[in-house]
Structure 1
Amino acid sequence: MNSHTRPTPAKQIEINGVIVSAVPGQKPALVDGCDTIVSLFQKRCEQLAARTAHREKDLGIWQSYSWQDYWTHAKWLGLGLRALGLARGEVVSILSEDRKEWLYADMGIQCVGGIASGVYTTDSASQLEYLLRDSGSRFLFVENDEQLDKFLEIEDQASRVEKVIILDQDGLHDLRHEKCVFLDDLYETGRAYEAENHGVFEAEIAKTRPEDTALLIYTSGTTGMPKGAMLSQENVISACVSGAHALPTQDHDEQLCFLPLCHILERNVSVYFPIAGKATVNFAESPETVFDNLREVSPAHFTAVPRVWEKVYSRVRVLAQEATPIGRLCFNLAIKTGLKRADYLLARKPVPLGVRAHYAVWDMLVLRNLRRMLGMDKMRRGGTGAAPISPELIRWYWAIGVQLLEGYGMTENAGLASINLPNDNKIGSVGRPCPGVGTRIADDGEIQTLGLNNFQGYWRNNEKTAETFTEDGWLRTGDVGKLDDDGFLTITGRLKDIIITAGGKNITPAEIESRLKFSHYISDAVVIGDARKYLTCLIMIDQENVEKYAQDRKVPFSDFASLCASQEVVDLIKGEVEEVNHAFARVEQIKDFRLINVLLTAEDEELTATMKLKRSFVEKKHAGLIEEMY
């Protein structure tokens, strides 16, 4: 096996004012002397008290909420649940979009010894019923009437649920239901409980140990029903240690929260890392307003899935096409110069004086204004993960002056196992392993990790847990990759996604799909070819950009299906596919493709809540299109 671990860090290291330690094989991991996220939460709230912890819009105006607000509401909420009968080690489910109350619930639940479990707002009523039943939740938080309706639809099947706590009362003032209470009522219950049990909240935090389960995070279920991954307090603190080294959050940093908090990536970036690094989190109004909110907040760092970075790139391309001829010329020259500079930076070579001078001019004339327009003018770095991203897209962001860094992690290793750094970056890789994380490549190419960040196992599923660990305790990630001589890790695909053609050729489709998605006309792609003579592809077009292409050329269409059916659009995508084919050997080239002519959302079974296509569902649902190509 090929293996690589980072050098053991010093026992105590100060990073941007945060003292962290994590020595492989030595427990516990510590952040500012705290070995649990709940004790660190208490320490931060005492230290920062009146300083702003969160901002959220109310009637279009940003409102600030302090660390004292954070502490007080988490305490009332946690004690309210305790008064209702929540016992240590029990799961509480949260069904809501991102908002400050999500964080109050997360920390309040953990502080009294409960286990916090998020539910995607795009989940159906039947999916909610499965999660409530599997987790054994007796308490459920719902955001509003829309999410409450899902529970009411499956109330009889979810008989174990004793109380549903509603965050938003709009449209529900006349609600009368024995199981339903409003959040303000829970706060009042918590206040009353504290009055009779002074100091109990702090005592519960002191009882919490690093090995206690903190989170139950359900995997996206690309290959079946979701599994509940148990992450301990130690796992979370270990991720914070890795984050302090690899994704340092500085005092007074501004962040934007918009990805689902159910997902470990956003949970780390917008809940736990800001607690460790004392940052301020701003909540986007909705996924639809994220680009507007990004401009308003102008965060110091911004982490998103590749789909978001692709969308920003596509928008800029469209705006550039709509510019005047002189505007397009200036933009193209600026990007050309930026790419020259980026190639030196990414190769870790000194940038020649001439290139630096040209870049300074175009930065002043074009690129600085572009970053300001995007809300990236104060951004020290951008982060991407959770799915493959095109190396060319990373180059483009570096060209405009945004250091986009790709990392790697999964729920089962607390979301962060390796990452590229601004001055230690190899494009196309996901960086070196984080301090304290051992990484090796098994004989079949599988990436395996070892560290304090490895999860405890799957909830009530010992068999699947056993399958996920090797005999010597390493986590089987299910991802295929390689480690180079410098210790950089590259992901080449998923073990279960490897295509073996009829000719016996092994092909990992991830790189081909990633190259296709770099086209601003292609939103997603699934390569087909297992046990077939050649490769084909199912493609989702980018609606906004393809519609504009069609309108500019007066191509008639009435809806999305007719847009996909037009010969001009088919020819457009054919050209994009042929361009990508040039980068691959003949056996890896796409011989035919079909367009998926329905718009998909996270509510569709083909997509996960994090907007990744479920290969098995896509192949099954569109079997007719696939057979046409063979």
Structure 2
Amino acid sequence: MTNGAPTNRKNLIDCVLHWEQQKPDAIYLTQPYGDGNIVDYTWREVTDQARRFAAYLLSLNYPKGSNIAILGKNSAHWIMADIAIWMAGHVSVPLYSTLNAETAQYILQDSEAKLLILGKMDGTTDTWNDVKDHLPAGLPIISLPMSPRNDVPQWLDIIKQYPPLQDVIQRDDDALATIVYTSGSTGKPKGVMHCFRSMTAGMQGLQDEMGVTENDRMLSYLPLAHVAERAAVETNSLYSGFRLYFAEKLETFQADIKRARPTIFFSVPRLWMKFYLAVNHKMSPAKQRILFAIPILSGFIKKKILTELGFDQIRFALTGAAPLPPDIILWYRKLGLELLEVYGMSEDFGNSHLSRPGKVRIGYVGSPTPGTLSRIAANGELEVKSPSLMLGYYKLPEKTAEEMTPDGFLRTGDRGEFDAEGRLRITGRVKELFKTSKGKYIAPAPIENKFNHPQLEVSCVTGPDLPQPFILLMLSLEARQALDKGTLNRETLTGEFDKLISQVNATLEDHEKLAFAVIVKDQWTMENGFLTPTMKIKRNVIEERYLPFAEGWQKQGVRVIWET
């Protein structure tokens, strides 16, 4: 690294102060605004604004270590606010911009937030219109740039009024830094407490194994309220000193990513699939196969596709949160992009397992990160002891004790197995097992992972107390639009799904074979509660909605059913 590493790398405040001193005029954050402006913020500017806001926070005389909430989409000022909260001796509590009103209210009350810092929200691609009327009474609000509220104190006005805080509050490495609430896929969200040490514990391993330096670039667009983005992007950039770019909105995403030309890119399976489908829309798979087979042309076409996606500078492409179909991973590999699957949890700040370049086994999430121990318990559950392990669940000591083994391993709730080289494969959730009327147990996730089709976005295998399981299928938005336009034929799709059921069933045990598939008529979204903010399915919500119809569907005796 050209300017040397921070002296104390266990504390993000020290990292920030290091880069402020070592390269004050280097650009750290690049933010596009809705009016077409694109603003670069140097390390000097970022820390100056954070210091000024920290001075304001201290003027409010909150008890040291108070919880301060941040609600909004990713932005340069989201990160400035996070830094300011730490500089003032407080604890940040991030909230997803897609939380429903009830959950947002619960988190704000449970965390006893003293203040809400409201960031980028628009009320159309987030849930602000629902949340705004359910905020705890009397909760003070401060608006960041791009906030929907202009009737409360504004960040930009505040930083003009307060001089920069010269002596930031010194924080112990083991001091509570943030409370990250889980996405609540199995009930009420739990507040996962992380200290400064646990937030940075996985960073040195990334640098050592991936060669991350201050010359790298990343695009921040997945929710900063989730540990994956918080660790891979925010913490990583503060630790390593590299430049961060932000996305403006979905419609400008391609331009935003081309502006960043990231060298490290982290995404989730649903988005890797969308990138793949977007390419297929412009160039059919059949045409790709022909062009990729022509030696001279092949390299040019592949480079052009990567450049068009904004991926031509990527050194490392990471995917996590859920499995990605093998054929999609192989497609990216043909383009020259090796997707590295990773695995982690909110409870270990995403620092658990990582696929290494050149050692990827498709379907596996890699081997333990440096300092991490992992094992499989007698019931098949993966247990992990990570250097990034949480301090515990906020105000839930009994739950914390329940999730830990006597010798300090975290019970992940995931079922797993290792191969001969120690690489981990996740085979489902322990609590997702359900029993058919024949008394046989079914693990839904492995079956869902086999059911891949370019027109599908999400699937859910279920069927407790039925003779055989069945699968619920949600079409992609593009597929729905094509059906409405008549460019996609329902009968053709029915035939393809019927064939896919046969193909999948051929790989399953008799008791696992799917009896039928149902194409659901409604979209499952974060807003209507069917998906978590990290785009995982909420099985309990889905089953409550659809299981009452299961017996009727079963009696139809049809393999592919379109919900009416």
Q: For residues 500-515 of structure 1, what are the structure 2 equivalents within 5 Å? A: 500-515=435-450
Q: Say whether 1:158 aligns with 2:137.
A: yes
Taking only the aligned residue pairs, the percentage that are identical comes to 27
Aligned twin of 2:456: 522
- Match status 1:374 vs 2:309: yes
Asked whether the equivalents of residues 116 and 216 of structure 1 are also in contact (C-alpha less than 8 Å), the reply is yes
Which stretch of the first structure deviates more once superposed, 80-89 or 246-255?
Answer: 246-255
Per-residue Cα deviation, 1:337-379 (whole angstroms, up to 9, x for no partner): 6xxxxxxxxxxxxxxxxxxxx76x3443321111111111111
* Structure 2 CA distance for aligned equivalents of residues 415 and 69 of structure 1: 29
Greater CA drift, 214-223 or 497-506: 497-506
1:548 aligned residue: 482
Residues matched between the structures, number: 549
- For residue 382 of structure 2, give the secondary structure of its aligned residue in structure 1: strand
3-state SS in 2 of match to 1:622: helix
Unaligned 5+ runs, structure 1: 1-15, 21-30, 322-327, 338-357, 556-565
Aligned residue runs from structure 1 range 79-478, under 5 A: 79-143=55-119, 146=123, 153-155=133-135, 157-159=136-138, 161=139, 163-168=140-145, 175=151, 180-191=152-163, 194=164, 199-201=166-168, 204=169, 207-321=170-284, 331-335=288-292, 361-478=296-413
1:290-342 CA distances to partner (integer Å, 9 max, x unpaired)? 23322332211210111100111112222223xxxxxx65521355x6xxxxx
Report the Cα distance in structure 1 between the residues aligned to 2:259 and 2:463, rounded to whole angstroms: 45
Q: TM-score, normalised by structure 2?
A: 0.91
For the Cα contact (< 8 Å) 2:97–2:128, is it kept in 1?
Answer: no
2:354 is aligned with what amino acid? I
Q: Partner of 1:423: helix, strand, or coil?
A: coil
What's the TM-score, normalizing by structure 1?
A: 0.82
* More displaced 10-residue stretch of structure 1: 33-42 or 443-452: 33-42
- Are the aligned partners of 2:51 and 2:166 in contact in 1 as well (CA < 8 Å)? no
Instruction: Tell me the distance in 1 between the aligned counterparts of 2:263 and 2:343.
Output: 21
Q: What are the superposed Cα offsets for residues 258-283 of structure 1, whole Å, 9 maximum, x if unpaired?
A: 10110111111221101222211110
**SS of the residue aligned with 1:230?**
strand
Larger CA deviation: 404-413 vs 84-93: 84-93
1:303 match: secondary structure: strand
- Structure 2 distance, partners of 1:583, 1:50, is 58
Question: 1:217, 1:263 within 8 Å by CA — same for their partners in 2?
Answer: yes
Please state how far the C-alpha of 1:49 moved relative to its aligned partner. Answer: 0.6
The DSSP-based 3-state class of the residue aligned with 1:629 is helix
Tell me the amino acid that sits aligned with residue 540 of structure 1. Answer: M
- Give the alignment's Cα RMSD to 1 decimal: 2.4
Aligned in 2, Cα 1:259/1:152: closer, same or farther, shift over 3 Å? closer
| Further displaced range: 281-290 or 142-151 | 142-151
Deviation at 1:18, TM superposition (A): 9.4
Q: With CA pairs under 8 Å and 6+ residues apart, which has the higher RCO, 1 or 2?
A: 1
Which residue is equivalent to 1:342?
none
Please tell me whether the aligned partners of residues 471 and 517 of structure 2 are also in contact (alpha carbons under 8 angstroms). Answer: yes
Cα offset for 1:538? 0.9
Distance 2:289 2:128 in 1: 50
Contact 1:314 1:545 in 2 (8 A): no
Alignment deviations for residues 379-434 of structure 1 (CA, whole Å, 9 cap, x no partner) = 11211111222222211111111111100001101112111111222221100100
Equivalent residue of 1:128, what SS? helix
Deviation per CA, 1:135-193: give whole Å up to 9, x if none: 000110112575776665235x434x2x20012377755x3xxxx311123324542xx
For structure 2, list consecutive stretches of 5 or more residues without a partner in the other structure.
555-564
1:150–1:628 CA distance, 2 compared to 1 (3 A)? closer
Distance 1:620 1:137, change over 3 A: same
Task: Specify the SS of the correspondent of 1:226.
Answer: coil
Give 2:137's aligned amino acid: A
Shift of 1:110: 1.4
Residue 54 (structure 1) shift: 0.9
Call closer, same or farther: CA 1:32–1:307 in 2, change over 3 Å: farther
